[in-house]
């Protein structure tokens, strides 16, 4: 039997040729479809979304950093720098690259303190919240040695960089510190609020005084730099970066404007030196003819160079625990009972209303009886007219006037002179103080006539600021013009071009008769120039000075044992010492108020300080002949023999 071969066409053991062709078509279609999808995807990635992906790629290697602007200077009236800038090394870190290993290595290399590590952690936390890829300032104003260590170890410190930038400093040290202020880095809440205004979370901002109030003018406008980094975060050279960066790589910063203030730094030094022997004080010196502030002192103070980025926790704790409260501006923000320097309010109100007269005599037996309360005077003065009452600061005389005119009339007069409301200086709180009225008392308690008695001599619930008192006495000196205190003379560009100049501003013209004002002036003359005057008996000055002393008692007296435990002779149980006045008497150049917190007697403590300041002013600032002065600057004849102002 013959067998047929199974390998030929038509056998049932393999696909037929048509079937094979059909399968090949499906394979070809599948391959074509896959290729088409691949081409489509490439089209989508490169053409449709190419720009977007390119931007993402570039954003991973192209970074930006702000270029700090040079902060404007703060200059005194003669151009002396009170706040300036100097070169410094600042260390930055990129939060997303700042690992625990990097932190430990940085700490070991630089020998960081616990305070510095806490500061770094706080700033990295803020950076993580804002933008993990944006470098943040972690250590400012570092020495050259630390900067060199970081720069030499860039391979070990991923994301750490050193920038050579301007840094704020205060060439006069702690001079006028409360006025000038200082700078610190923003808090997290401030960073959230200020980022939209062009601030970088790492920036230092004005924290007090002029640095804070005039921040918008001083800060300038930051620039911006774009740069490229490799996969390790290290900066690429400029040539490589240029291929990745389109547009301007660097936008220059605009420097801040300079602030020229009315303060004379030489007079400021004289005033601060004059209070160097007391524990807590304030001094305000103004021009009666313009309202310009020439010196502004608050003691105790602080060093703005330490406050600006160098304050340790231990130093901060020490400052905050000081019972004298060095962070409170005693000239502008703190309020105190004014004592007898407030008596002009009572006197002028009584004279204007016809309830008092210059030649009216009242007998002082050393005390004043009102209902069942006995008020004690500072002495038994006998029979006095109003001018004598001012000279000897007789409380009985003014208590009698108070019962005639009442509390509300005194409050009305006080508000005319600016008490009870902020001065509108716009610095450090600028408190309004308190001028009580009958309605004020009746909100919480029943009004009593003794409240007017206390207010007449600047006691009870009357509280004022030292600045308010200085502006009021400037108004007394110039005939009744109450100025808004001026501290900024002008704003100028970094190259000295004037931007804006400020003129003196009048708050109001106090309605007061020339006769009433003259009566008060006569009393002030006797205070400082005739025997028996509360200032004269504690020293005389060799130029005619108008003045009034004040000794303001505090509400409660503490035990003597407590006084002995207080710092640097600061005794909270003592009265406050005041002196207010102006010089020269006839044509005043400066009005001055000296306040010594818990200093005791105004005549014994505050007046000698005022004398030292006036001597410095008329010797160094504006020298002028001293009538009757010997070569040593002492008067050759007693002040009592000098001519009293013309009647």
What pLDDT band is residue 643 in, cutting at 50, 70 and 90? very low
pLDDT of res. 454: 95
What pLDDT band is residue 445 in, cutting at 50, 70 and 90? confident
Overall average pLDDT of the 421-443 stretch = 95
Residue 58 lies in a domain: no
Taking 80 as the threshold, does the pLDDT of residue 555 lie above it?
no
Residue 647 lies in a domain: no
Residues 231 and 88 grouped into a single domain: yes
Give one DSSP letter per residue of 401-446, joined into a string.
HHHHH-HHHHHHHHHHTTTTS--S--STT----B---HHHHHTTS-
Residue 52 lies in a domain: no
Closest listed residue to residue 392, CA positions, set 189, 587, 528? 528
pLDDT of res. 244: 66
Residues 208 and 248 grouped into a single domain: yes
pLDDT of res. 582: 98
Taking 80 as the threshold, does the pLDDT of residue 142 lie above it?
yes
Overall average pLDDT of the 380-395 stretch = 96
- 567 vs 98 pLDDT, higher one: 98
Overall average pLDDT of the 506-524 stretch = 97
- 45 vs 643 pLDDT, higher one: 45
Tokens standing for residue 198: 């062009």
Range of the domain at 163: 63-261
Residue 106 lies in a domain: yes
pLDDT of res. 241: 62
Residues 284 and 370 grouped into a single domain: yes
What pLDDT band is residue 638 in, cutting at 50, 70 and 90? very low
pLDDT of res. 562: 47
- 265 vs 65 pLDDT, higher one: 265
Q: What is the 3-state secondary structure (H, E, C) of 450-514?
A: HHHHHHHCCCCCCEECHHHHHHHHHHHHHCCEEEECECEEEEECCCCCEEEECCCEEEEECCCCH
Overall average pLDDT of the 313-332 stretch = 90
pLDDT of res. 235: 65
What pLDDT band is residue 26 in, cutting at 50, 70 and 90? confident
Residues 269 and 382 grouped into a single domain: yes
Taking 90 as the threshold, does the pLDDT of residue 509 lie above it?
yes
Residue 13 lies in a domain: no
pLDDT of res. 61: 66
Overall average pLDDT of the 286-304 stretch = 97
Taking 80 as the threshold, does the pLDDT of residue 243 lie above it?
no
Model's pTM, two decimal places? 0.83
Tokens standing for residue 493: 């560009």
Residues 544 and 588 grouped into a single domain: yes
| Beta carbons of 80 and 265 less than 8 angstroms apart | yes
Q: How far apart are CA 388 and CA 111, in angstroms?
A: 69
Tens digit of pLDDT for each residue in 278-290? 999 999 999 999 9
Q: Which range is least confidently modeled, 27-31, 61-65, 462-466? A: 61-65
Per-residue DSSP letter, 342: G
* 356 C-beta neighbours (distance < 10 Å), count: 24
Last residue of a domain, one of 208, 229, 261: 261
The pair phi, psi for residue 359, each rounded to 5°, is -100, 5
Last residue of a domain, one of 228, 261, 294: 261
Residue 137's domain is classified under what CATH number?
3.90.1310.10
Residues 320 and 458 grouped into a single domain: yes
pLDDT of res. 223: 81
- C-alpha separations of 590 from 70, 227, 270, 391, 473 in Å: 35, 57, 14, 21, 10
Last residue of a domain, one of 212, 241, 261: 261
Overall average pLDDT of the 426-445 stretch = 94
| Beta carbons of 229 and 236 less than 8 angstroms apart | yes
Residues 257 and 269 grouped into a single domain: no
- C-alpha separations of 606 from 190, 217, 554 in Å: 42, 37, 17
Residues 527 and 378 grouped into a single domain: yes
Q: How many domains does the chain have?
A: 2
Residue 293 lies in a domain: yes
Residues 244 and 163 grouped into a single domain: yes
Give percent of the chain with pLDDT exceeding 90.
63
What pLDDT band is residue 565 in, cutting at 50, 70 and 90? very low
Residues 422 and 442 grouped into a single domain: yes
Residue 2 lies in a domain: no
Residues 443 and 394 grouped into a single domain: yes
pLDDT of res. 196: 76
Taking 60 as the threshold, does the pLDDT of residue 57 lie above it?
no
Q: Which range is least confidently modeled, 182-196, 203-217, 345-359, 531-545? A: 182-196
- 231 vs 146 pLDDT, higher one: 146
Tokens standing for residue 238: 């400029």
Q: How far apart are CA 629 and CA 169, in angstroms?
A: 43
574-583 burial: b if 16+ Cβ within 10 Å, else e: bbbbbbbbbb
Overall average pLDDT of the 287-294 stretch = 98
- 631 vs 55 pLDDT, higher one: 55
Q: How far apart are CA 609 and CA 275, in angstroms?
A: 7
Give percent of the chain with pLDDT exceeding 70.
85
Residue 473's domain is classified under what CATH number?
3.40.710.10
- 64 vs 380 pLDDT, higher one: 380
Taking 90 as the threshold, does the pLDDT of residue 269 lie above it?
yes
Residue 1 lies in a domain: no
Residues 465 and 363 grouped into a single domain: yes
User: How much of the chain is helix, strand and coil, in % rounded to 5?
Assistant: 40, 20, 40
Taking 50 as the threshold, does the pLDDT of residue 621 lie above it?
yes
Q: Which range is least confidently modeled, 55-59, 225-229, 382-386, 590-594? A: 55-59
Taking 50 as the threshold, does the pLDDT of residue 644 lie above it?
no
Mean predicted lDDT score pLDDT of the chain: 86
pLDDT of res. 646: 37
Q: How far apart are CA 344 and CA 360, in angstroms?
A: 16
Taking 70 as the threshold, does the pLDDT of residue 416 lie above it?
yes
Taking 50 as the threshold, does the pLDDT of residue 306 lie above it?
yes
């Amino acid at each position: 039997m013959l067998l047929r071969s199974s390998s030929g066409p038509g056998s049932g053991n393999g696909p037929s040729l048509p079937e094979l062709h059909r399968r090949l078509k499906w394979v070809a279609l599948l391959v074509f479809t896959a290729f088409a999808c691949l081409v489509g995807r490439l089209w989508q990635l490169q053409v449709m979304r190419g720009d977007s992906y390119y931007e993402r790629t570039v954003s991973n290697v192209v970074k930006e950093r702000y270029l700090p602007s040079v902060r404007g200077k703060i200059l005194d009236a003669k151009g002396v720098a009170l706040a300036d800038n100097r070169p410094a090394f600042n260390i930055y870190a990129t939060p997303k690259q700042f690992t625990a290993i990097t932190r430990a290595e940085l700490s070991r290399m630089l020998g960081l303190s616990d305070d510095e590590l806490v500061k770094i952690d706080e700033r990295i936390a803020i950076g993580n919240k804002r933008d993990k890829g944006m470098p943040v300032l972690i250590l400012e104003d570092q020495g050259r040695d630390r900067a060199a260590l970081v720069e030499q170890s860039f391979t070990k410190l991923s994301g750490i960089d050193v920038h050579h930038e301007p840094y704020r400093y205060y060439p006069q040290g702690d001079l006028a510190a409360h006025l000038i202020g200082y700078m610190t880095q923003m808090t997290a809440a401030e960073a959230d609020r200020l980022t939209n205004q062009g601030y970088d979370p790492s920036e230092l901002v004005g924290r007090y005084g002029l640095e804070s109030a005039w921040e918008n003018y001083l800060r300038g406008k930051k620039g911006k730099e774009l740069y490229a980094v490799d996969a390790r975060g290290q900066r690429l050279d400029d040539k490589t970066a240029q291929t990745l960066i389109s547009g301007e790589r660097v936008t220059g910063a605009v420097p801040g404007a300079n602030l020229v203030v009315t303060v004379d730094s030489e007079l400021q030094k004289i005033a601060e030196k004059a209070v160097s022997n007391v524990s807590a004080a304030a001094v305000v010196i103004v021009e009666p003819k313009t309202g310009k502030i020439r010196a502004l002192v608050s003691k105790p103070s602080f060093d703005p160079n330490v406050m600006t980025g160098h304050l340790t926790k231990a130093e901060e704790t020490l400052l905050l625990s000081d019972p004298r409260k060095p962070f409170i501006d005693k000239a502008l923000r703190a309020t105190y009972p004014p004592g007898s320097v407030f008596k002009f309010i009572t006197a002028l109100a009584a004279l204007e209303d016809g309830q008092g007269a210059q030649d009216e005599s009242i007998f002082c037996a050393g005390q004043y009886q009102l209902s069942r309360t006995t008020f004690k005077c500072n002495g038994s003065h006998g029979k006095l007219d109003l001018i004598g009452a001012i000279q000897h600061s007789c409380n009985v005389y003014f208590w009698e006037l108070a019962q005639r005119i009442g509390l509300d009339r005194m409050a009305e007069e006080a508000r005319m002179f600016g008490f009870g409301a902020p001065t509108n200086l716009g610095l450090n709180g600028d408190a309004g103080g308190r001028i009580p009225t009958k309605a004020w008392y009746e909100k919480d308690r029943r009004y009593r006539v003794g409240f007017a008695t206390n207010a007449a001599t600047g006691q009870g619930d009357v509280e004022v600021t030292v600045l308010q008192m200085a502006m009021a006495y400037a108004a007394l000196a110039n005939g009744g013009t109450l100025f808004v205190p001026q501290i900024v003379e002008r704003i100028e560009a970094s190259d000295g071009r004037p931007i804006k100049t400020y003129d003196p501003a009048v708050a109001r013209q106090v309605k007061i008769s020339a006769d009433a004002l003259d009566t008060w002036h006569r009393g002030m003359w006797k205070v400082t120039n005739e025997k028996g005057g509360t200032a004269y008996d504690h020293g005389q000055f060799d130029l005619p000075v108008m003045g009034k002393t004040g000794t303001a008692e505090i509400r409660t007296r503490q035990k003597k044992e407590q006084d002995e435990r207080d710092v640097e002779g600061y005794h909270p149980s003592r009265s406050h010492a005041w002196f207010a006045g102006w010089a020269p008497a006839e044509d005043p150049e400066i009005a001055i108020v000296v306040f010594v917190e818990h200093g005791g007697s105004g005549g014994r403590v505050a007046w000698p300080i005022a004398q030292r300041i006036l001597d410095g002013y008329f010797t160094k600032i504006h020298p002028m002949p001293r009538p009757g002065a010997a070569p040593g600057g002492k008067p050759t004849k007693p002040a009592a023999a000098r001519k009293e102002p013309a009647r």
